[in-house]
Structure 1
Amino acid sequence: MNENVTAPLRARAEIDLAALQANVRSLRAHAPSAAFMAVVKADAYGHGMIPVARAAKAAGAEWLGTATPEEALELRAAGLTGRIMCWLWVPGGPWRAGIEADLDMSVSGMWALREVTAAARESGRTARIQLKADTGLGRNGCLPADWPELVREALAAQAEGLVTVTGLWSHFACADEPGHPSIAAQLDRFREMTGYAEQQGVTPEVRHIANSPGTLTLPGTHFDLVRPGIAMYGISPSPELGTPADFGLRPVMSLKASLALVKHAPGGLGVSYGHHYVTPGPTTLALVPVGYADGIPRHASGTGPVLIGGKRRTVAGRVAMDQFVVDLGGDEPAAGDEAVLFGPGDTGEPTAEDWAVAAGTIAYEIVTRIGSRVPRVYTGGDHGAGREGAGT
C-alpha cells in the first residue's frame, strides 16, 4: 500500500498487482507460442484500467484490449504505447481519433468499413483494422453470408492505402462449458472464414479467438494471439473448469470495509428495509458501510458472506444503497474493525465466486460492478501507482 495512505477508509478495493503479473505469466505459459492481449475493458474488470494495463505490459503483455474506443484512447492519453485494440463501435464513433492514436480497430460490417475509410481519407493516414467474424456467438461480427463482401471491400480499401487489415478474429459463445458442441463448430467456422480471407489476399498479423477458457483449456484455439480477460484477474472463467488455484491463478481484488457501528440489539428487532430479517434473540449487530451504490449486489440480501473478527457471517436482511447489517451473534468487535467481503480466501474470507453464488450471478459481475466511490489501493507489482480512484 502506498505509504501516503494513512487515513482509515470507509471501504477499499485492494488490488494486488504482483498477483496480476503472476497471472499474466501463468497464462502466457498456457499459450507460449501466441502473443498475449491483456483485456482491460470495463476499467480492467473493476480493478483500475491504467495501473492494470501498465502492470500487465510490464509482465509481458504485447497487446492491450478494450471494448470501446474511448477506453483505448484513454490508455493512449495515459502514455500507454504499443498495440491497443478496441472492438465495440457505433456509427459516428471517433474513427479519426483512433487512426491518429494508432489503434487497431475492429470492423464487423460494411457501415463500419465505410466510416473508417472516410476517416482515413480525412486524416491522410492508413487505418489499422481487424475484421471480426461471427462464427456462432450471434453478437457482434460479420455473418458468413456477408463475409465475402466485407473481405472484398476491405481489400479494395487496402489497395487504396486507406486501411491495413492487421487481424482476423472472433469470439466463443460457450468455451466455458467443456465439451459444448458449439466450440468445435465455431472453431471450424473460424478456420473456414479466415481461410477464405487469406485466399482472397488478406495477410493478417494475428488471427485470434481464444478468450480465458480457450487460453486455459483449448490449445487448438490459440492461433497467433490469446485474449484472457477474467482469468488475468485471478478468477476462474468457469468453476466447472477448475478453481483459480487449479490454473495457477490468484485473485487480484480484495474488498474490505471498516465497521461503522456495533450495537447490542434485543430479540425481535426487524433489520433493514422490509424487516426480512428479525433478530431471533438478544444479539449484536454490525453495520458495514457499503451497499448497492458501491456495487454490493442487492440480490445477495440475506445470503452475502463477509468475514468479521475471523468468522464468516451473512448479510442480515436487505442490502441497502450505502450499507448492510450483519448479525454477530453476541460477538463484539469494535467500530472501525475490518470486514472482508471477498479476497483470495487465504484466511477464510469469502471469494468473489462465493458472492456470485449468493447473488445468482457470475464472479465477473461481482468485481466489475464495484463502484467508483470505493477507492482502489494498489499493492505489489511493477506499476508506479499508489491510491487511485476506480476510473484512473
Structure 2
Amino acid sequence: MTAARAEIVVDLAAIRHNVTTLRQITGTPVMVVVKADGYGHGMVPVARAARQAGAEWLGVATLDEALALRAAGADGRVLCWLTVPGEQYAAAIEADLDVTAYSVAELDEIAAASTATGSAARVQLKVDTGLSRGGAAEHDWPDFLARARAGEEAGHWRITGLWSHFACSDEPEHPANDRQEAAFHRALAAADTAGLRPEVRHLANSAAALLRPSSRLDLVRCGIASYGLDPAPGHTPDLGLVPAMTARARLAMVKPLVAGDSVSYGHSWTAEQPTTVGLVPAGYGEGVPRHASNTASVAVDGLQRPIRGLVCMDQFVVDLGGDRPEAGAEVVLFGPGRDGEPTAQDWAEACGTISYEIVTRIGGRMSRSHVDSETTSDEEAR
C-alpha cells in the first residue's frame, strides 16, 4: 500500500495500556473521556479500546456524541454534560444515557421528556465549585437539589451522580484546589440533606486523578492521560503512559538554498549559510499550528529538523542542514518520542499551548488509521 501524503496513526494498544495503568494507579473506577472525536484520536475506536481495558464509564460533551457512541454499538455507561435548551432528552432516555443537569430549567426539560417517553431518565447533577463555567452556582444549590429530589420521587429520573470539575489541578499547589474540594464536599452534604443518594461522586480529572488522591472518590474522569499525554507537565512523575498518536507526512521535494535565501510568506526566516530544505505537504488546513512557524521541529531520517518560515495552509518548510533525503522520505511531526521524534508536548511548548490542542486540532485532509501494536505492526497497517 502506498504511504499517505500526510496521515495520523493511532495505536489502540497504547490506549489500552494507558487506561489499564490509570486504573491501577488510582485504584478507582475510570471514566475515559472520548469527546471531540476522542481528542482527535477517533471516538469509536478509542471507546472500544477503553472498554477492553476495563473502563467502567465513557464520557462525552454533547448528546450527539453520546448517541453516536450508542449507534456504533457502545454499550455500558455513557455520560454527556453539555446541552442547550431544546435538546432531545427523549432520545437520551431511550438510549439509556446518563445526562447532566446544571439548572432547574434543565431538570424541567428532562422531566417533560420523561413524561413523553414514559421512562425514567438517568441524571447527574453538576455543581460549580469554582471553575465558574458549567454547573449550578452554590447559591442555587438548595432549589436545584430540591427539584432533583422531587423529580426522583415523581419517577422522572434517578440521580446517578453528582460532580464538579477542577480549574487548576495541573498546578498541584494552587490554593483553588483545596477550595474546590471543600466546596464539593459542601455540595455532597447538601445533596445528602436533600435526600439524594447519587451512585457516583466524581471531581477528579486526569491531573487530579494522578496528583490528588483525596479527590478520587467513586470515579475519576481521565481524558488526556488516556491518550498518553501528561496532564500536568513538570509535576507528573513518569508513569509509563504511552502517547497513542503519531502525525506524519512525506517530503514533497528537497531543494538547496544559498545564504540570503528567505523562506515562505513574509520572509520571516533567511538562511545565513547554504543549506537544504524540505517541503512538507501539510499546513494549518491540516491543523498544523501557524504558531509552529520557526519554533517547532519534525523528525526526518531520525534527526529533528526545525521548521523554517511561516506555516502555510497546505505546507511548511523544514531545514535539512545540507542533507538531501529523497522526496517521499518520512517526516514525523510528532509521536511517542521513543525514536527521538518530537512529541505533542514538544509541539505544545513550541507553540505556547497545551498538548490537548495539538492532538485535537490535527487532521483536516490528513487520513487517519488505527493500528494495534500488540497484534499488527505499523508497516503491515500501511
- Say whether residues 1:163 and 2:129 are aligned partners: no
Match of 2:251 in 1: 259
Decide which of 8, 11, 17 is 1:22's aligned counterpart: 17
Deviation at 1:201, TM superposition (A): 1.0
**Partner residue of 1:376?**
368
SS in 2 for 1:242: coil
Deviation at 1:383, TM superposition (A): 10
Tell me if the contact between 1:216 and 1:247 (Cα under 8 Å) persists in the aligned partners. no
1:390 match = none
The correspondence of residues 129-168 of structure 1 with structure 2, limited to 5 A, is: 129-168=123-162
C-alpha distance in structure 2 between counterparts of 1:224 and 1:382, whole Å:
31
The range that moved more, 298-307 or 375-384, is: 375-384
Listed as ranges, the gaps of 5+ residues in structure 2 are none
Q: Deviations over 1:263-311 (max 9, x none)?
A: 2233322211111112223321100011011111101111111111221
**Distance in structure 2 (CA, Å) of the matches to 1:264 and 1:223:** 59
Q: Decide whether aligned partners of structure 1 residues 150 and 58 sit closer, same or farther in structure 2, where only a CA change above 3 A counts.
A: same
> How far apart, CA to CA, are the structure 1 residues paired with 2:129 and 2:342?
37
Where does structure 1 lack aligned partners over 5 or more consecutive residues? Answer: 1-5, 387-392
Q: In 2, Cα distance between the equivalents of 1:118 and 1:381? A: 48
Q: Which of 329, 332, 335 matches 1:340? A: 332
Partner of 1:339, secondary structure, is: strand
Say if 2:8 and 2:363, in contact at 8 Å, map to a contact too. no
Using the size of structure 2 for normalisation, the TM-score is: 0.96
Specify the code of the residue in structure 1 equivalent to 2:130.
Answer: G
- The 3-state SS of whatever aligns with 1:79 is coil
Q: Output the CA distance in 2 between the equivalents of 1:226 and 1:90.
A: 25
Q: For 2:43, give the aligned amino acid.
A: M
CA distance in 2, matches of 1:206, 1:111: 23
Counterpart in the other structure of 1:121: 115
Report what 1:183 is aligned to.
177
Match for 2:5: what amino acid?
R
Aligned counterparts of 2:140 and 2:278: Cα–Cα separation in 1: 59
Native 8 Å contact 1:54 1:383 kept in 2: no
1:241 paired with 2:235, answer yes
Paired with 2:373 and 2:280, the residues of 1 have a C-alpha distance of 30
**How many residues end up aligned between the 2 structures?**
378
The answer to whether the 8 A contact 1:11-1:289 is kept is yes
Contact 1:303 1:315 in 2 (8 A): yes
Q: Does 1:195 align with 2:195?
A: no
Q: Contact 1:20/1:232 (CA < 8 Å) preserved in 2?
A: yes
Aligned counterpart in structure 2 of residue 321 of structure 1, from 313, 321, 334: 313
SS in 2 for 1:114: helix
* CA–CA distance in structure 2, aligned partners of residues 321 and 258 of structure 1: 16
Matched, 1:274 2:274: no
Q: Find the partner of 1:351 among 331, 343, 347.
A: 343
Amino acid at match of 2:184: F
**2:88 corresponds to 1:81:** no
Tell me the equivalent position of 1:224. Answer: 218
Structure 1 SS opposite 2:155:
coil
SS at match of 1:42: helix
Map of 1:389 onto structure 2: none
Distance 1:97 1:315, change over 3 A: same
1:369-388 Cα offsets, whole Å, 9 max, x none, are: 1124222221116899x9xx
Say whether the 8 Å CA contact 1:126–1:163 is kept in structure 2: yes
Q: Counterpart of 1:262 in 2: which secondary structure? A: strand
Structure with bigger RCO (C-alpha 8 Å, 6+ apart): 1
d(CA) in 1 for partners of 2:313 and 2:274? 26
Counterparts of residues 64-103 of structure 1 (less than 5 Å): 64-103=58-97
Equivalent position of 1:295 in the other structure: 287
* Cα distance in structure 1, aligned partners of 2:17 and 2:3: 29
2:281 and 2:15 mapped to 1: Cα distance?
28
**Cα contact 2:255–2:278 (8 A) shared by 1:** yes
Percent of aligned positions with the same letter in both sequences?
53
> Are residues 44 and 382 of structure 1, via their aligned partners in 2, closer, same or farther at CA, if it must alter by over 3 Å?
farther
Deviation of the 1:30 alpha carbon: 1.8
Q: Taking structure 1 as reference, are residues 229 and 119 closer, same or farther at Cα in structure 2, changes over 3 Å only? A: same
Q: Residue 41 of structure 1 is aligned with which of 25, 35, 41?
A: 35
Contact map agreement 2:260 2:273 (CA 8 A) in 1: yes
The counterpart of 1:57, out of the listed 51, 55, 58, is 51
Q: What's the offset of the Cα at 1:111?
A: 1.6
Letter in 2 for 1:253: M
Post-superposition Cα deviations, 1:16-74, rounded to whole Å, max 9, x if no partner, equal: 11111111011001221x22101000111110000000000000001100011111110
Once the 2 structures are TM-superposed, how far is the Cα of residue 94 of structure 1 from its aligned partner? 1.8
Residue identity opposite 1:267 in structure 2 = A
Q: Deviations over 1:325-357 (max 9, x none)?
A: 012121000010001111111111101111011
The alignment's C-alpha RMSD in Å is 1.6
CA distance in 1, matches of 2:158, 2:5: 50
Task: State the TM-score, normalizing by the size of structure 1.
Answer: 0.94
